[in-house]
Each structure stands twice: as C-alpha cells, then as structure tokens.
Amino acid sequence: MLKSAFLNVCLVTTSLVSAQDAATPKINWMTWSEAIEAQKAAREFYLKDKKANHPPKKIFLDVYTTWCGPCKKMDANTFKKPSVIQAMNKYYYPVKLNAEQPDPITHDEHTFINPNPTLVRGRRGVHQLAASILDNQLFYPSFVVMDENTNRLVIHKGYKGELVMAGILAFYGSNEYLKYKEAVMKQSGQQKAKNSTGQPINQ
C-alpha cells in the first residue's frame, strides 16, 4: 500500500520534472538553529491567526559529510532539479547538517557537541546531534523529514535521483503520508477484529 501511494505521488511529480524553467530558483539551505526558529515563529503566528493560512512548514534535514561522494553528487544533480527545488521550497525549511562539524549546537536547552572535533586524515568525530537524530545509524547521506512540531517522521538513506526525491518531498510535505497511516491503522483494526472472532471448530 505504501509503495502504491508513493508511486502515485511520484507520477504526479513527473509533470514537475518535465517543466524546466530557465530562471530556476535555488534551495535556500538553513542551519539547524535557523530552521527551528523559523518553524517556531511560524507555529506561534499560525496559532494566533489561523485565518492567515500560513501554517509552519516541515523540516527537511540533509545529513552529510565533506568527504561523502554521493552527498556531493546530490548537491551537483538532484538538489538542482526544478521539481526538487519547487517541492522543497513549498513544503520545507531545508537544513544542511554536517555530521562531523566541530561547532556545538544548542537545542531544547541541551548543547550537542562533537566529542572529537580535531581533523584527522580528513575526518572528525560524529556530532552528537547528527548521531541522535539518526539513532546512531550513521549513513551518508541521510535525509530526515520532521513534522511541523519537529517530530521525526522518516529517515531515508543513500543517493536519491530527481524523481524519487521529489516524490519523497511531496509525499510527506502534502501530508499524503497521513492518508496512508490512516489506511494502515484501519486495516490493522479490521484484522484484529477478524482475529478476535475466532474460527469455527471442525467437528
């Protein structure tokens, strides 16, 4: 069911893929702190005036390293495609997080650090914020989608081409994933009800 729903979103994005704009805008990447502040401000404003019709966006997090080849390929190709840029700017606060950055990051009154910030053979230790968000499952690049309240929705790992990335962005950004979640819960409830009735005993 998830595959079917996701494919439907991907098919919709093909129209975006074919539309090439000579003056294509770019993704305006933010820091983690900038995105959190922007989301917080938008959330507070929306709660005060829902008629404004400007709810906070979700957060898209690109966790990368400076030595990661696929990460560089994503920047050179996928993140420059019109369909990806359009979906990203429409639905998300886009964040670049270097998983090995040496600088501390404070979030929710907790300061995350890189315990081994010294560069050794082109690499540093892993930043605590990156490790926490990825549940210590370190794979680069990793892409994390967070909802309007900064709750993690999903982690996608590895290089993604234009169509797949545009599909991911649209699937979660447009809240299509909620329809899938509701369908799964409904199906699960029906299955539990069916199992609870039991089966007749063969005589």
CATH number at residue 167: 3.40.30.10
Q: What is the C-alpha to C-alpha distance for residues 196 and 203, in angstroms, rounded to an integer?
A: 21
Reported residue count of the chain is: 203
What DSSP element (H or E) covers 49? none
- C-beta contacts of 18-25 below 8 A and 24+ residues apart: 19/82, 19/83, 20/82, 21/82, 24/80, 24/82, 24/85, 25/85, 25/89
Kindly provide the b/e burial profile for residues 27-42, where b requires at least 16 CB atoms within 10 angstroms of the residue's own CB: bebbebeebbeebeeb
Q: Is residue 135 part of a domain?
A: yes
Question: Does residue 203 fall inside a structural domain?
Answer: no
In a domain, 168, yes or no: yes
Number of domains within the chain: 1
Range of the domain at 140: 2-193
Q: Is residue 158 in a domain?
A: yes
The reported pTM is: 0.79
Query: Does residue 199 fall inside a structural domain?
Result: no
Domain annotation covers residue 183: yes
152 within domain boundaries:
yes
Strand 92-98 and strand 58-64: the pairing is parallel
Q: Spell out the per-residue pLDDT of the chain, length 203, in tens.
A: 555 555 555 555 545 544 444 466 999 999 999 999 999 999 998 888 767 677 899 999 999 999 999 999 999 999 999 999 999 999 999 999 999 999 999 999 999 999 999 988 888 999 999 999 999 999 999 999 999 999 999 999 999 999 999 999 999 999 999 988 777 777 766 555 555 544 443 43
Whether 201 is in a domain gets the answer no
